[in-house]
Amino acid sequence: MSPLNVPSPDKSPLEGVWCGDKQKTIGNTFSLSGIGIHSGESCIAAFRPAEAGSGIYFIYQNKKIPALVNNVTRTDRGTSLSGIHVVEHVLSAAFGLGIDNLEIELSSPEPPVLDGSALLYVSALKNSGIIEQNREKAFLQIKDQIEIKDGSSSIKIAPFNGFKVHFMIDFPYIGKQTFVFFDNFEAEIAPARTFGLIEELETLKSRGLAKGASLENALAVGKGGFINTPRFKDEPVRHKILDLIGDLSLIGHPIKGEIFAVKSGHKLNIELARRLFELC
């Protein structure tokens, strides 16, 4: 039995779907290359327009992998989908720009980490041209709140006529940070890099993780605080929102709701995404 406290209401907490804005894809094909933060392997990611209604999907070794929560296989130090790993940064960039349909073909099983944020993905997607398509978006409209708890961590979604995120973290050497995100993904969230404790690095590498991590693609934290210069004084909590947005994009629909997250990570994010996906 799952240790997560997941209430099961008698009726759906979804109002249903609300249609309005047009779906979007990119106008031109482009590629980005770099190493995976955990694998350390080089990867070329080719981005191509996709037809309306096709959603966002990856192609790896000639296999199509839809970016949907029912394909999630792991949530340890990143979100993995059926053989590909750490997909949340690139998906966050697409979601933050309102892109609904996109093909991403990978030469290796982990997308490039680039600078550790979503900013370079955002810039490249915008430069390719974002175009409207002849089909309306289907938003998930939250009617009643859903809350999931796991010890001192929790995540809740409540009705709201838009998309808003409140997040609180509490990490060693960082302490408590809070941030509220509402509408400026590119400026407030996309530049926030992944972060980690220097003292955990060797342990992670012994588990086959963080092989590609460096001060060029991550914000490092030690006993004295930040080792390299942060882009924001509260960069870690902003990056947690970036991850959350990428994880919730796996529902396959944009959301109209307000999210309250306390020390949430990929595990709780994906539990909420699964719950909403099952109700669609």
Return the H-helix or E-strand segment holding 150: strand 146-150
Does the pLDDT value for residue 79 go beyond 70? yes
pLDDT score at 17 = 53
**Which one is the CATH code of 14-279: 3.40.190.10, 3.30.2320.50, 3.30.1700.10, 1.10.760.10?**
3.30.1700.10
Q: Per-residue pLDDT tens for 196-234?
A: 999 987 788 788 878 999 999 999 999 999 999 999 999
| Residue boundaries of the structural domains of the chain | 14-279
Give the mean pLDDT of the chain.
92
Is the Cβ–Cβ distance between 50 and 102 less than 8 Å? yes
Residues catalogued as catalytic:
266
User: Which two tokens mark 241?
Assistant: 């929102």
Residue in the block written with tokens 């961590």: 153
pLDDT score at 204 = 82
pLDDT score at 3 = 34
Give dist(CA 235, CA 175) in Å, integer: 12
Percent of the chain residues topping a pLDDT of 90 = 85
Q: Per-residue pLDDT tens for 6-19?
A: 333 344 565 555 56
Q: Per-residue pLDDT tens for 233-271?
A: 999 999 999 999 999 999 999 999 999 999 999 999 999
